[in-house]
Amino acid sequence: MERADELVQAVKCGTREDCCRALGAIAQRGLGRGATEVLAAVLWAAEHEDPIVREWAVVALRTRGADPRVVEMLWRRYNRDDRQNIRCYAIESLGSLKQCLGLQDLRTLFDQSKDDPSNILLPAAVRGFGEAARSLEALELLHSLVTELARQEPASSPTRSRLVAACEAAQLRVARTGLGAGAFRRADLQDPSWQQLLAKLGEARNQNAIRKKAAQRQQETLFKEDGDGTDAQLDPSSPLKDNAQARYIQDLCEWKDLQFAQVRTYTRDHKLANAKKEAVGGRCQVCGEAQVAVDTHHMQLLSQGGPDTLDNLLVLCPNCHRDVHSKRMHFTFSQENGVVAVTPDGAPVAIPQAGDPEAMVSHANRRLAERIAGDFLRLDSDTQTELLERLSKMVGER
């Protein structure tokens, strides 16, 4: 971990890369939080002629706490900077420090920018407002913005979609914070137009957040002010559109109860799978059952580098396929016996080769006989005797 003096040296005397790296370390790790020299260096970088350095400095300032010099610099960057991305970072950073635009200022910005598809400042300002505001007047303003957007045409651009999501999420955050802080009560939201918001506030996660805020208000010395739990990391090293997309996803998750997950998928040749199913007559190669729907399974998994070839494919019924993926069944291979399935009961089952219909039928009959014999042995002696008599009678009739 770098010392405060090394960070200051890198910010003031290093190359652009060194300066941005040092500012990134301050932003991500909060290094030297109490060091006057580090704060002075970050404030100096926030007015640098290089916009990339200013971006990193603005993001670093949000970790410095509500120091008056920090707040003043962030407002300066928001009001005066000619780069829209820096203004976005500044207003969101101010929101994390519980500073935001006034009601009239936000309303004016909304009226001026709501129809501009290239404007990304408005969603950022709304998001910062949602982080900091807690009054009933602020909630009413956001509610009016949500209502106005709902009356218009459906979102026709990514920017409009982000604005809608930002307004909805900000409305929910202000409502949670305001109710928890005692700034207003549910009784103030009895108009029918609040019905959707009240329904969201009734969800368990929002109820818990409100109770947490109320506990913080009643016993402030026991709780550290940690925001609303919705703050995401700003990253100037990523393209601005990626940061905007990350904010959009965050807002969607907040209002619509969504959870996004990264999923890795592998390309499969469906024609190859269908050919394998046809070659075995639509029967499971382990139990021999003929099913309306059967699956194909890669013996050596694609995720482990296995090939998508006929030799690596097995046709399985859903039950056997489930046993394989739950580790209750596995396969072995030898030159002498070929592929052998070891079933949940520990019995080895030789897998017949595809393309031989008679062998598949014989395998299915043999597996059926094994299951019948197993079921027979589990019966009590009287039932076994009765069943043998019935079978003997049936054989005699044939």
The string of DSSP letters for 264-301 reads: ------HHHHHHHHHHTTTB-TTT--B-SS-EEEESS-
* In a shared domain, residues 23 and 74: yes
Residues sharing a CB contact under 8 Å with residue 158, sequence separation 6 or more, in sequence order: 248
Q: Is residue 21 part of a domain?
A: yes
pLDDT score recorded for residue 1: 47
Domain match, 340 and 205 both: no
- Report whether pLDDT(223) > 70: no
Domain that holds residue 22: 4-219+238-256
- Same domain as 86, residue 62: yes
Burial 360-377 (b: 16+ CB within 10 A, else e): beebbeebeeeeeeeeee
CATH code (residue 103)? 1.25.10.10
Residues 242 and 326 in one domain: no
- For residue 381, tell me if it sits in a domain: no
Measured CA to CA, the distance from residue 364 to residue 352 in angstroms comes to 10
Judge whether 229 lies within some domain: no
Q: Is 300 contained in some domain? A: yes
Residue 259 is predicted with a pLDDT of: 66
- Domain count within the chain: 2
Q: Tokens standing for 94?
A: 């101010």
Residue 358 domain flag = yes
* CA-based nearest residue to 375, from 398, 321, 367, 327: 367
* Domain match, 207 and 120 both: yes
Q: Taking a C-beta distance cutoff of 8 angstroms, is the pair 262, 249 a contact?
A: no
Please tell me whether residues 325 and 356 are part of one structural domain: yes
Amino acid at 378: R
Same domain, 242 and 285: no
- Size of the chain in residues: 398
Q: Which residue has the higher pLDDT, 213 or 219?
A: 213
pLDDT digits (tens, 9 = 90+) for 306-346: 888 888 899 999 999 999 999 899 888 887 778 888 888 78
Q: Where are the alpha helices (DSSP H) in 46-135?
A: 51-61, 68-80, 84-96, 103-113, 121-132
